[in-house]
Amino acid sequence: MSPVSSHKNPRVEVLIHQALPKTLTYLLPEGQAAPRGTLVSVPLGKKKGFGVVLGLSNENIDEAKLKPIEAPLELPPLKNALLDFIMWVAEYTLSSPGNVLAMALGGQSVLAAPKPRKKKEETETLISPEKHPLSPAQEVAANQLVEDVKKHHFAVTLLDGVTGSGKTETYCEAIEAAMAAGRQALVMLPEIALTTQLVGRLAKRFGFQPALWHSGLTPATRRDTWKAVAEGKAKLVVGARSALFLPYADLGVIVVDEEHDGSYKQEDGVIYHARDMAVVRGKMEKIPVVLSSATPSLETVLNMRAKKYQHVHLPERHGQAVLPRIHLVDLRKEQMPRGGWISPTLQNAIRECLQRGEQSLLFLNRRGYAPLTLCRSCGYRFACPQCTAWLVEHRDGGKHRLVCHHCGTAELYPRSCRECKKENTLAACGPGVERLKEEAGKLFPNARIAVMASDTQEHLAALHQTIAAMEAGQIDILIGTQIVAKGYHFPGLTLVGVIDGDLGLQGGDLRAAEHTFQLLAQVAGRSGRVDVHGRVYIQTVQPQHAVMQNLAQYDRDRLVETLIREREKFAMPPYARLATVTLSATDPAAGKEIAKKLAANIPLQADVEVLGPAPAPMAMLRGRFRLRFLVKTAKATKIQEFIRNWLSLVKIPHTTRVSVDIDPQNFS
Ligand SMILES: [Zn+2]
Ligand SMILES: [Zn+2]
C-alpha cells in the first residue's frame, strides 16, 4: 500500500449513509479541510449522497477514477465517541454501518439544506421549576445516581420500584446534576405515545420544554432539534429508541424508562435492542446509565446480581398511596354471560366503582372488534392473503373492515363467505376492545366509556384526547390494549379488570411468562390513588399458574427465581447466546434452495448449534415466504463471527433477503 503522501491530492474515506458493502474514497479539493467526523455531500453514481469522513484514505486507486467531495455540510461534525458507537452497533447487529449512520443523521430532512422559512416566534416561556420534596428513600436513591453523574464515569444502575414509588422524581435529580455540570441528559421511552405525559411533568420540574425526538416530527423540527442536540443547546432530550443515536455535544446521563419494555427492540432494518445499546453508548461516552422499572427484565436482574449493575430500590409508593389488592377471578367457576367476557364478579366491582364516582380500566390486549371471522356454514376462516395471520374485524370510525395487523391489508367487511359464497353466515369469534366496549355499554348504559387502543402515529392526537379526558374525569370506564399499561398515571382510577390474563401465556415464547407478569403488573399499577385502595381483578382459567400466583402475592422475586432456574436448566439466554437467521423470498422454491445451501454449509464448531431451516412461525409475511435458522452458542462464543463466516460461504441472490437478529426477543 502506498503512503498517503505519494498521492498528489489528499483523499478521504467516507462512510455513506446507505447500505453499501464498504466505505468509499473521495478526493479532497485543494484548500479544503475535512477532518474525521465532518459531514459531507458527495457524488454517488449519478446521484448525490451524504456521508461522514472517517479519516484520510490511503487506498491505492488511480486518481482519475476518484471524484472530489462536493462540500462539507453546514452541520456540526460527529464526535469520535458517536462514530465508534455507530461502528460497534453495526458490528454487533451484523448491519451495514451506513444504515446505522442513517439513524444518527436522523433522516434526509437533517441533511438537506434548510428551506428559508419565517422564523417562528419564540413561544417558549420559562416557568419556575416545581420541585417536590423527596422521601427519605428517594433521597438515598437519588444521591447515588447524582454521585455517578458528578464523577462523570460509566456505571449502570437499576432504579427499581413499584408504580407510584417516585422513580421519575428520583432520576430527575440525576438529570438536574448533569445539566448543572453543563451536560445534556437523555430520557428514553418505549413508545412515543408516552411522551406527552412525561414531557409535561419534566417541563414543570425543570421550568422549560425538553426537546422531543421521534419519528413523528416535521422535517423542519427534525433539523432544528438535531442541530440543537449537536450544538449542546438542547439540554434535555426525551425520545423513542432512535434518540439514542443523536449527536450529543456532551451527554451526561442516559435514563431508560420502563427498561423491561419489549418496544425497545427494533424488529426491522437495523435490528437492535435500544436498552442494551444505551448501556454500550454510556460506556463509550463514559457516563452513567439509569435503567428504571417496576418489573425489571431477567437480563437486568442477573447483571445486577453479578454486580455488573448497581441497584437502588424504592420500597413503597410515594406519599400514602397503597398497593392495589389483586384478586384472581377463576373463570372456570364463574357464570359467564352468553357472548360476553366480563364476569359477574368483575361486573359487581365495576358497578361499585361507578356508584362511588371512581374510574375503572378494562384491559384486553387485542385491537379491533373480533380477532377472527368464520363462516358458520362451511367453517372458512378469513386469513390474510399476504401473511400467516387471521384478519381482524374492525368497526371503529364507521368503517366495517377486515384488517391484517401485520401488513396493514384491509378490505371491506364481506357480505358473503369467500369459500361457500353464502350470505349472512359470518360470525365474529372472540373479543377485541371494540366488542368489549359494546358489552360494557349494554351492562352500564349510563357510564361514559372510551377505548384507548391505538399505538400508531396517525392516531396520536386521538390518543392524547383520551388521556386528557381520562385525567379530567370525563371517562368512567376506559378500555385499552397494552398502550394503557405503559406509564400513564390516572389519579381517579381505582379499579383494573384484566379480561384475559392468560392471553400472553399462549404460544411457546421463551419470555411469555416474564412478559405476562411485567404487563399485568404494569396494568395493576395503574390502579389506586393516594387515599383509596386500588383493586385489580385478573380473569384467568389457570389461577394456579406461577405468574398468577406470584402476581396475586406481589412476589416478583419468587417468579424471577423460577424463571432463572428454568433458563439455566435449558441453557437459554443469558446462560447461552441466541440468534435467528431468517430468509425471505417471494418465490418459496428460491428461498428453500438458498436455505438448503446454507444448511449444507454450516461450519462445524463444538460450541455452536444450528437448528433449521424451519418455516418461521409467521411462515408468510407481506407476501414473502420465511424460513428460519436458530443459532445457539455458548455464552462466550462470538456469535456474530460465526454467522458472518457462515453466510459468506453461500452466494445469496438479492431476491432472497437475509435478516439476522442477535438476541431475539420475538420469535414470530
Ligand atoms: Zn362459508
Ligand atoms: Zn397481512
Q: How confident is the model over 50-72, as pLDDT tens digits?
A: 999 999 888 888 888 889 998 78
**If you average pLDDT over residues 318-344, what whole number do you get?**
83
207-252 pLDDT per residue, tens: 999 999 988 888 889 999 999 999 999 999 999 999 999 999 999 9
Ligand 2 center to 19 CA (angstroms): 27
pLDDT at 153: 96
By the CB criterion, residues less than 5 angstroms from ion ligand 1 are 375, 377-378, 380, 417, 419-420
pTM of the full predicted structure? Answer: 0.88
Cβ neighbours around 87 below 10 Å, total: 15
pLDDT at 119: 55
**If you average pLDDT over residues 434-463, what whole number do you get?**
85
pLDDT at residue 665 greater than cutoff 50: yes
- Among residues 480, 575, 493, 565, the alpha carbon closest in space to that of 527 is found at 493
pLDDT at residue 116 greater than cutoff 70: no
Contact present, 13 and 98 (Cβ < 8 Å): no
pLDDT at 320: 47
pLDDT at 531: 55
Alpha carbon distance 430, 238 (integer Å): 38
pLDDT at residue 447 greater than cutoff 90: yes
Min mean pLDDT across 122-126, 234-238, 571-575, 608-612 is at: 122-126
Alpha carbon distance 78, 628 (integer Å): 37
Please provide the distance, in angstroms rounded to a whole number, between the alpha carbons at the two ends of the chain: 48
Ligand 1 center to 586 CA (angstroms): 29
* Pairing label, strands 426-429, 236-239: unpaired
Return the beta strands (E) in 227-278 as ranges: 236-239, 251-257, 265-266, 272-273
Min mean pLDDT across 298-307, 325-334, 474-483, 545-554 is at: 545-554
Ligand 1 center to 655 CA (angstroms): 37
**Which ligand is the nearest neighbour of the Cα of 383?**
2
Contact present, 203 and 209 (Cβ < 8 Å): yes
Q: What percent of the chain stands above pLDDT 90?
A: 62
pLDDT at residue 3 greater than cutoff 50: no
Which amino acid type is present at position 99? N
**Which ligand is the nearest neighbour of the Cα of 416?**
1
619-649 pLDDT per residue, tens: 999 999 999 999 999 999 999 999 999 999 9
- Total residue length of the chain: 668
pLDDT at residue 429 greater than cutoff 60: yes
**Which ligand is the nearest neighbour of the Cα of 403?**
2
